[in-house]
Amino acid sequence: MANKIKVGVWGLGRAGNCMHAREIGMYPEMFDLVAACDIDPERCKLYEAKVPGVRTYTDGDAFLQDQEVELVSVAVRSPDHVKYCIRALEAGKIVFAEKPVAISDEGCDRLLEAAKRFPGKLFCRQNRRFEACFNHIREIMASGILGEVYEIKLARHSFSFRNDWQTIIDCGGGQLNNWGPHLIDHGLRLLDSPLKDLWSDLKRVTALGDAEDHLKIIMRGENGRVIDIEISGGVALGSPVYAVYGTRGSLISPDEQDIQLKYLHPDFKEPAEKSKPGTPALDSGFGGEYKPRFVRKTIMVEPANGATINDIYKHLYLAIREGVPFPVKLEEAIEVVRVTNEVKRQNPRFAPCPDNK
């Protein structure tokens, strides 16, 4: 493709240095990584060695004045996302915002106002929207073999004595801002209904900072479906990453690689009669006289739509160059932050720091 998008990455930490650079490099026919900016000169030198020909800056204004840069991928620390996105938009750039797009309701409002001033220029990197297992599970749910889905559990567990800025409240740390945006976004999509209410609990378990590293969020949709989200850096024996419960069957995925299914055979008809109030026979057991006929199988994660977690820059190119609607709407990324802030309000011990201005 001749009409490549020239990218500048703002922030050369783990996200900008590793994730963004790798994902951009997967689409050499669509993107050229031409510039990067970080306040640490050593990070810039390392990046120059990693990406031949890239220009690096330690001054943000000089970086934004680089006329070759069309798209700025903002990968700075979470409290700076709003400020840096707006600076880049005002410099005439297209902006790709790392998650969380903001960490306060006021920051969300500032982004929405900026998006009105610069329509079609702000995109959000909710990259796990394209996770293969998430997409495959949605396809299974849509097929109807599980019946009416009434509860879904999403979990990401690990155990570590983490000690970086992602564990410090004043730096915008905590699992709610780290893994939270991914699973909250998944939960809101899997509700298939507007959010009605939620309950939450935050704890610090093993992390060495003051931010939460164990969280539980229960979301209920207007349709009655429940989403149970658990993220923890303090669980030594983890749960399946997905569990879906329906009226005709269930599935689990222990590791995003395989999906285990157990569901009623399509030919099995559920009993039409109702329960009897009388005294049951002593030898009747406790499970009822109707024995379900199940299908059991384990399948590899292979969504029909071919989605992978590395797809987001491809979709970004199609949106910018070909006008294809970007799959992640700004309003959806903002709703994730609104949920995050409701959780913080319910757990004031872990009150958020504001977005920087």
Please answer whether residues 182 and 99 qualify as being in contact, where contact means their C-beta atoms are separated by less than 8 angstroms. yes
Same domain for 325 and 238, yes or no, is no
Closest among 355, 357, 342, 356 to 103, alpha carbons compared: 355
Residues 6 or more apart in contact with residue 291 via CB below 8 angstroms: none
Same domain? 230 vs 160 = yes
- Do 206 and 286 belong together in one domain? yes
Q: Tokens 């000089």, residue?
A: 62
| Domain span including residue 160 | 132-300
Looking at residue 256, the DSSP 8-state letter turns out to be S
- Cis ω before 194 (30° cut-off from 0): no
On whether both 232 and 197 belong to a single domain, the answer is yes
Which 3 state secondary structure label does DSSP give 304? Answer: coil
Determine whether 222 is exposed, middle or buried from the number of CB atoms within 10 Å of its CB (0-12, 13-18, 19+). Answer: exposed
335 lies in some domain: no
Same structural domain, 161 and 290: yes
Residues 3, 68, 113, 60, CA torsion sign: positive
Q: Are residues 191 and 144 in the same domain?
A: yes
In a domain, 317, yes or no: yes
**pTM for the whole structure:** 0.95
Same domain, yes or no, for 166 and 47? no
Number of folded domains that form the chain: 2
Give yes or no: residues 280 and 324 share one domain.
no
In this structure, are 45 and 173 located in the same domain? no
Domain-located, residue 29: yes
- Planar angle of CA 56, 33, 164, nearest 5 degrees: 65
At 153, which CATH number?
Answer: 3.30.360.10
pLDDT tens over the chain, length 357 residues:
569 999 999 999 999 888 999 999 999 999 999 999 999 999 999 999 999 999 999 999 999 999 999 999 999 999 999 999 999 999 999 999 999 999 999 999 999 999 999 999 999 999 999 999 999 999 999 999 999 999 999 999 999 999 999 999 999 999 999 999 999 999 999 999 999 999 999 999 999 999 999 999 999 999 999 999 999 999 999 999 999 999 999 999 999 999 999 999 999 998 888 888 988 888 877 777 778 999 999 999 999 999 999 999 999 999 999 999 999 999 999 999 999 999 999 999 998 788 998
Instruction: Verify that 160 and 264 share a domain, yes or no.
Output: yes
**Is 91 contained in some domain?**
yes
